[in-house]
C-alpha cells in the first residue's frame, strides 16, 4: 500500500510539474523540503527523495527546529555512518539527551515531534509533551532472530521510543499499550500519527520483541504495525 501511495504521489508530482509556475513551494515537487512550510501531499514524496540524497537532506534539516551537528567519521565494527548527525535538542527534549541519527531519520524525527507526538499529547491530556524517552538509535547489530541481516539501527535509520513525559510530570510508557484508559488511547494515536512520517513503525502489536517500545524507522517502504 505504501509503495502504491508513493507511485500515485509520483504521478501527481509529474502532473503538477507542468504547472510549477503557479505552485506554492510546498506543493511544488521539485522545490526542496522546507520543514517550516505547511504540510501537503507532496511532503511524503519529498521525504522519500531524501533517502539517498545527503545534500538535499541536510538542506531540509537546516529548516527544522532541532539542534544538531554533523557527526563525522563514525564507525562501529562493520557499520560506518556516512551522513549521520547528532540530535542535541529541539522543541521536545529526549532522554537520553542526545542520539545519533541518519539525516533522513533526523528529518522524520523533527516531523514526528512537531506534527505527531506534541499534538497527540495535547489532544489526549491537554498538556504539552516535555520529553520523549528512548532506548537508542545507532547500534551495529543484526536484526533479532535474523543472523547476518544488519538492522536498520546499524545505519542509524531507526530509534526505539519507550515512553513520553508530559509537562506536569506524568509518564506514559509504551509498555502500557493495552491500557483501557487515556494512556492506551494516546499510545495508539502516537503510532497512527508516526506512520505519516516514518516508513516503518513497529509497536507492541507487531511482536513480543516490541512489547515495551515503538520502533520508528526512516524508510521508503511502508509497514505500520
Residue 70 in domain = no
Q: How far from the centroid of its chain's Cα atoms is residue 90's Cα?
A: 14
**One domain, residues 176 and 113:** yes
Q: In CATH, what number is assigned to the domain containing residue 204?
A: 3.30.1380
User: How many domains does the chain contain in total?
Assistant: 2
- pLDDT for the residue 142: 81
Give pLDDT, residue 40.
Answer: 94
- pLDDT score at 77: 65
| Interior/surface letters 101-134, b for 16+ CB within 10 angstroms, e for the rest | bbbbbbbbbbbbbbbbbbebbeebbeeebbbbbb
Last residue of a domain, one of 33, 63, 93: 63
Q: Name residues whose C-beta falls within 8 Å of residue 118's C-beta, 6 or more positions apart in sequence.
A: 91, 92, 128, 129
Q: What is the CA radius of gyration of the chain?
A: 17
Task: Please give the C-alpha separations between residue 147 and each of 51, 137, 142, in angstroms, as whole numbers.
Answer: 25, 19, 6
Residue 58: give the domain boundaries: 1-63
Does residue 75 belong to any structural domain of this protein? no
Answer yes or no: is 68 within a domain: no
Closest CA to 139 of 215, 36, 33: 215
Positions of the chain with pLDDT under 50: none
207 assigned to some structural domain: yes
49/109 same-domain check = no
What's the confidence (pLDDT) of residue 15? 65
Domain annotation covers residue 198 = yes
Q: How far apart are CA 150 and CA 165, in angstroms?
A: 31
Per-residue pLDDT at 23: 80
Q: Are residues 21 and 92 in the same domain?
A: no
Contact 43, 55 (CB under 8 A): no
Q: How far is CA 13 from CA 22, 42, 46, 49, 59, in A?
A: 14, 8, 10, 12, 21
pLDDT one-digit tens code per residue, 139-178: 888 887 667 678 999 999 999 999 999 999 999 999 999 9
Does residue 1 share a domain with residue 100?
no
For residues 203 and 86, what is the distance between their CA atoms, to the nearest angstrom? Answer: 25
Amino acid at each position: 500500500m505504501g509503495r502504491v501511495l508513493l507511485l500515485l504521489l509520483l504521478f501527481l508530482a509529474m502532473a503538477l510539474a507542468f504547472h510549477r509556475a503557479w505552485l506554492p513551494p510546498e506543493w511544488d515537487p521539485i522545490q526542496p523540503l522546507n520543514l517550516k512550510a505547511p504540510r501537503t501531499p507532496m511532503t511524503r514524496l519529498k521525504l522519500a527523495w531524501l533517502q539517498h540524497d545527503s545534500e538535499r537532506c541536510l538542506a531540509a534539516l537546516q529548516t527544522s527546529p532541532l539542534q544538531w551537528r554533523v557527526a563525522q567519521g563514525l564507525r562501529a565494527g562493520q557499520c560506518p555512518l556516512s551522513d549521520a548527525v547528532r540530535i542535541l535538542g529541539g522543541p521536545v527534549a529526549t532522554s537520553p539527551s542526545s542520539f545519533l541519527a541518519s539525516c533522513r531519520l533526523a528529518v522524520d524525527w523533527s516531523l514526528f515531534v512537531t506534527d505527531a507526538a506534541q499534538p497527540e499529547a495535547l489532544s489526549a491530556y491537554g498538556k504539552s509533551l516535555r520529553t520523549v524517552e528512548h532506548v537508542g538509535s545507532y547500534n551495529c547489530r543484526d536484526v533479532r532472530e535474523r543472523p547476518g541481516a544488519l538492522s536498520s539501527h546499524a545505519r542509524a535509520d531507526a530509534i526505539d521510543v519507550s515512553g513520553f513525559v508530559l509537562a506536569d510530570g506524568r509518564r506514559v510508557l509504551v509498555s502500557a499499550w493495552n491500557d483501557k484508559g487515556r494512556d492506551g488511547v494516546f499510545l495508539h494515536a502516537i503510532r497512527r500519527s508516526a506512520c505519516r512520517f516514518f516508513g516503518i513503525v513497529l509497536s507492541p502489536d507487531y511482536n513480543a520483541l516490541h512489547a515495551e517500545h515503538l520502533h520508528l524507522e526512516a524508510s521508503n517502504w511502508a509497514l505500520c504495525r
